[in-house]
Amino acid sequence: MKRILLAVSGLSPAVITETIYALFMEKKPVDELHVITTGGGKGKLLETVLSPYEGKLQALIDEYEMPPIDYNPQTNLHVLKDANGKEINDILTPDDNEILLTKCLQLTHEMTTRKDTTVYFLVAGGRKTMTSCLALAAQFYGRPRDRIYHVLIAPSEVERAKSTKTDRSFWYPPKEKQKYSYTDFTDGKVRTINSKDIQVNLINLPYVPARYFLSEQLMDEVKQPADLLAGLIRDEKPALTISLSERKLIFGSMLEAELTHPTWLALYTFFAVKKQECILDESCDNCEKKICFLDFNEISSSDSDIQSIRQMILKKFEEIPDEFPSVYKSFKKEASFNPAKHKINEIILNAFGQSIAPALQISDAPIPLSARTGKRTKKFGILLDRERITIEWKADKEVGTE
């Protein structure tokens, strides 16, 4: 999976090297860097971060022995231009802001359409309107695996400090200890900070991806915010499709989770079938009875049903992958059921995100204390409304509860 850092930058591009450093420290090395900037910001970037001569980014890569980063200014530096092709030196008018927003939407749409990418949106550079436009683009087109980041330096005085050894500004914490000097605005005195005391803090900003609540037509090409917002105002709720032939879960029109292991897919499909079999008239959203939920004894006694679903799935493999066990692992014991449930839920969370996953995961509901054993047990099932669940064996055929 290729990690792309998409940033906006003005006249203080140090946030780019600081962020790349922080991501590397979190074991998330960046593979590609793309920067949206103005004509004025372009000059600053080419003089410092992206300079072919003693560039700050290349210095960071060399000093920390990072993997190569694609940051070619010819292709990865996106300078804002007006309708006549003239570079915009600053964001000063509504027209300038419209051009900026369109560029943010275009690049975000392009990068998140690629299935081999994770995009990190950096909203810590440039004017506030620049970071706001990039954050808005991320809200519309971002996926659960993408992230919006802000970077903070502590103490904040470092941002205006210079190295006492090299007289260079701070770009990232150097491996070799250095002292940085700065003028304290409160009393006008010059003070120093040791580089080992400098902290680069990466802030992960939570957001709700809106793309999965938009129609497929709205996602085919870049749209203006007004069109995207209008697309969110609808009564239709996204549905879950379980595609046995493709071995994946599809939520809405865009969001997918791969359940390639036939045993996990069979177990999840079993719970979906039980959900569809519910005979209550009331909506699942307000149901407290959870009669479609099963305790472990009921799951264990239905082991043959799960095995049958698994065999249906295996028939679609031309050749069964080596990592899939040839012998079915029974769910007659909790020691085999619990790890499988945990893995399925983990895949769903990673694919769909925290705002959607709880309705799709195999959840548990407590059962009142047993009069016989005096113990509290659990029932397991899927919370999503049964009317929003479809099980497909082929693209044009639905598998019901047979």
The 10s digit of each residue's pLDDT in 88-115 is: 999 989 889 889 999 999 999 999 988 8
Instruction: Pull the structure tokens for residue 179.
Output: 């002292």
What rounded mean pLDDT belongs to the chain? 83
Residue keyed to tokens 């803090």:
201
Give the pLDDT of residue 221.
72
Give the pLDDT of residue 324.
54
Where, residue-wise, is CATH 3.40.50.10770 in the chain? 2-232
d(C-alpha 213, C-alpha 228), whole Å: 10
Q: In this structure, what are the phi and psi dihedrals at residue 152, rounded to the nearest 5 degrees?
A: -125, 140
d(C-alpha 20, C-alpha 172), whole Å: 9
* Residue ranges of the chain whose pLDDT lies below 70: 159-168, 212-220, 225-236, 253-254, 282-289, 316-329, 367-376, 393-402
Instruction: Pull the structure tokens for residue 376.
Output: 């509290």
Give the pLDDT of residue 100.
92
**Cα separations (Å) of 298 from 64, 247, 295?**
55, 25, 5
* 179-183 and 162-163 strand pairing: antiparallel
H/E segment holding residue 3: strand 2-9
**Cα separations (Å) of 289 from 58, 302, 323, 363?**
61, 21, 39, 14
- What is the pTM assigned to this prediction? 0.63
Residue 1 near residue 116 (C-beta atoms within 8 A)? yes
CATH topology classification for 2-232 = Rossmann fold (3.40.50)
* 147-154 and 117-122 strand pairing: parallel
Give the pLDDT of residue 395.
45
Contacts of 59 (CB under 8 A, 6+ apart): 171
Give the pLDDT of residue 120.
97
H/E segment holding residue 172: none
Bridge partners for 250 per DSSP: 241, 256
